[in-house]
A and B are shown apart, each in its own frame.
Chain A
Amino acid sequence: MKYKKLTLENFRTYFGKHEVTFPDKNGLVIFHAKNGTGKSGLLHAMNFGLYGKVLNPSDYQGGYFPYYELLNRLAFKNKTYNFGVTLEFSDGKNNFEIDRRIQLKKGVKVKEPKEDNYFEEFLHVTKNSEVLSKDESQREIENIMSEAVSRFFLVNREDIHRLNNALVDERENEVIRKEIERSIGVEVLERGKEILSEIANDFSKESVKDTSNSKKANDAKEDLLGALERLDKAKKYIKENKEKLESVDSELVILEEKERSLKSIAEEAEQKKNLTEEIFDLETQKRQKIKQTREYLIENWFLPVSDIALEAYDKAKREQEDATEIERNIKNLEIEIRRLKKEVKDEVCISCNQPINKTQVKKIKQLLEEKIKSKEEFEGQYEEPTSIFPSTQIIKPFLEPSIDNFIQLEKDLAGIELDIHKTQNKVDKINKKFDDSLESEVKSLREKIKAKNELVGIIKKDIEEQEILQAAATNQIKKAEKEVEKYTSDTKTSTKKSQFSKGIREIFDIAFELYRDSAREEVSNLAMGVFDNLINDKAHQIKLEDDYSVTLIDQNGENAGTPSEGQSGVIAISIIAALSRNSVTNAPIVLDSPMAALDDDHQQNLWSFVNQLADQVILFVFPGEYKDEHRKNFKKYLVKEFTMHKEEGVYQANILEGHHPKYFDKKGAK
């Protein structure tokens, strides 16, 4: 198959009619465009032209874009409610033209028709200019490139991501296994095997009815019919359970996709939990530090200083009492001295107011002198009491070493508080990003995933058991068929049909095993070769398992863990390359932004290799994937280039022939 021309009208970012003519020559066609210009739009147009629908990459449930989202916004604003794609291609023998248009149904008078049921599809397919019926059209398209294998030929960025997930995820791998086996033709023989087994069983039943009725023949017939019945039952049960498994698996894929989309929240919730625990630890450290500081202060400052203060207080108190006593004595003596002096002067007794004689005066004078002497003695004894506060000189020896330690404790405490502050800031930042409801959504998703996984386990076990029964029944059928054959020499047509169809069934059984193993080996070898070609780190290789899951291995053949994003991109491209070369479909490969996750070296490698993916390779690249120095790697395979551009915020993209880098610098873009 080779694309010849693509015409779009009011499709996605393309307002009005736009045409892209692909060259006849095999080779590389590149579309250069900034993100948001309409690269994916062209890929979607090819999908739409072929299948009439476009998967919405942001819909986890695998939904398709509604028509109004495929319709150009400007056309929608202008109330032009129709769009279409015309795809011209050749399958090597015949020329095809698919013209698919969507128009507003007659009589629909809705202000903004957004529902698909307001629109109708018109499909017009020609083969060598002859118009095909609708059924013939779909059949021809399916035969040229079945929608089921299209993900290996019309590959957008999300497909690369999904393909890679599927290759490493066991459950999705079952889906991809079927698609791969369909693409490389294993399914042709697998279906042949099933169909011929069914036909052989039908013919066996017919034959049994026609065979002779001898006792042994009847027993063998009964055995055969019983085994056929058991086989039918097992088949029915397996079919039902596989359908159930498929439905649970697709629910699981949706849940896991959702979980992946909330992965950053889950990670941040985990980080928040860790940070909160860290804050709790820091708060504990802070409390311990405060306790330590308090104990240190009590032991090294408060207790010694309070001892000193107490001692100073006791001493001051004692001195105060002594001084008060002396003051009181002095005061009493002063009163007495004043009284004695007055009696000497007046020669009258102050107590009885009677005159006193000379002898008594002399005695009083003597007493007065004694009192004065005694007062002078007390005055001599008097000392000013000391302060109740201890002097700084006494306290200083206790304070000086303690202050240093105290400063250290204070520093430690401040350090802890700073850590708490920083950690709390991180928690606050996380809190701003999401609320608790998202956290609980993640939790609930995980619980649902766990439950679904358990259900998958149960169903798989049931299927395994029934498959054992099915295998046993198949063996019994073969044995019983031989028995029936042995006891009958029937030459009736029914016997011939039975004998012959059993033989064909056997042949397809064996051919299926032979082809499956050899085709898988071919895909595996080619994928390994491509990977080796594309990857710079030669210490790693890939291994394709029997179920087509991919393992990254090291030089010793040991599992090298989960591939990096870049390695994943290379793995996906390697598988696509291997499948396209071994496919029952011969179609061009269209890749949207295949180098987005690759570093410069790997981009160079892919640019050198990309032409080998298929006879016609169409790449959509944004400026980050293409550099002028890459040109030398693909120059000789390049058959045509296009540049897509549009003004920002305007739904009017244009496609120009040639490479026009001016549209990618800021000035040009304006």
Chain B
Amino acid sequence: MLSQDHRKEKILEKIYEAISKNSAVTTPMKKVFSKSKIDEIIEEIYQILWDEKFNDNQKEITKKIKKYIELEITANSK
């Protein structure tokens, strides 16, 4: 595995650690999506952040993620 892939995995591990250790945070989220969908959305957001890690235009990334969340909620929320 390349070191950058290894790094990407390590960060994702910490995101999952944050999810698993803080059920109080995820409980209200579960009103909106199922557990697996939450994981999927978080992974997708992380993928955007990872792909854009060297893009200095933060507004552009914010817009992209915001649009993605809006679309997921409109299309797939409970």
Contacts and interface: CB of A to CB of B under 8 A. Distances in A.
Interface in A560-619: 580-586
A192 B62 contact: no
A511 B18 contact: yes
Interface in A484-524: 485, 493, 496-497, 499-504, 506-511, 514-515, 518-519
A191 B49 contact: yes
Interface in A222-242: none
A143 interface: yes
Contacts of A143: 51, 53-54
B35 interface: no
B65 to A, nearest CB: 6
A199 B25 CA distance: 17
B36 interface: no
B54 A148 contact: yes
A92 interface: yes
Contact of A146 (B2, B28, B54, B69): B54
B4 A506 contact: no
A511 B65 contact: no
B70 interface: yes
A518 B42 contact: no
Interface string A191-208: 110111011001000000
A45 B14 CA distance: 39
What is the interface residue range for chain B against chain A? 35 or more
A187 interface: yes
Interface in B19-45: 19, 21-22, 25-26, 28-29, 31-33, 38, 41-42, 45
Contacts of B49: 188-189, 191-192, 195
Contacts of B62: 195, 198-199
A508 B15 contact: yes
Quick one: which of A501, A509, A584 has the most chain B CB within 10 A? Answer: A584
A142 interface: yes
Interface string B4-24: 100110110011011101100
A361 interface: no
Given A503-B25, A507-B18, A582-B3, A189 B32 contact: no
Contacts of A184: 7
A304 interface: no
Contacts of A195: 49, 58, 61-62, 65
A172 to B, nearest CB: 21
Given A198-B62, A500-B69, A503-B29, A583 B10 contact: no
A583 B61 CA distance: 22
A434 to B, nearest CB: 43
Contacts of B22: 506-507, 510
A500 B33 contact: yes
A194 B62 CA distance: 9
Contacts of A582: 3, 7
Contacts of B51: 143
Given A184-B7, A500-B69, A191 B61 contact: yes
Nearest to B4: A586
B2 A586 contact: yes
A142 B55 contact: yes
Contacts of B61: 191, 195
Given A143-B54, A500-B73, A507 B25 contact: yes
24 contacts: A139-B55, A143-B53, A143-B54, A146-B53, A148-B54, A188-B46, A188-B49, A189-B11, A189-B14, A192-B46, A199-B62, A496-B32, A497-B69, A499-B31, A500-B29, A500-B69, A503-B25, A507-B26, A507-B42, A510-B21, A515-B14, A580-B3, A583-B3, A586-B2
Given A511-B17, A584-B7, A585-B4, 16 more contacts: A142-B55, A143-B51, A143-B53, A187-B53, A194-B58, A202-B66, A496-B32, A500-B73, A500-B77, A507-B22, A507-B26, A510-B21, A514-B17, A515-B11, A518-B10, A582-B3
Interface of B: 2-4, 7-8, 10-11, 14-15, 17-19, 21-22, 25-26, 28-29, 31-33, 38, 41-42, 45-46, 49-51, 53-55, 58, 61-62, 65-66, 69-70, 73-74, 77
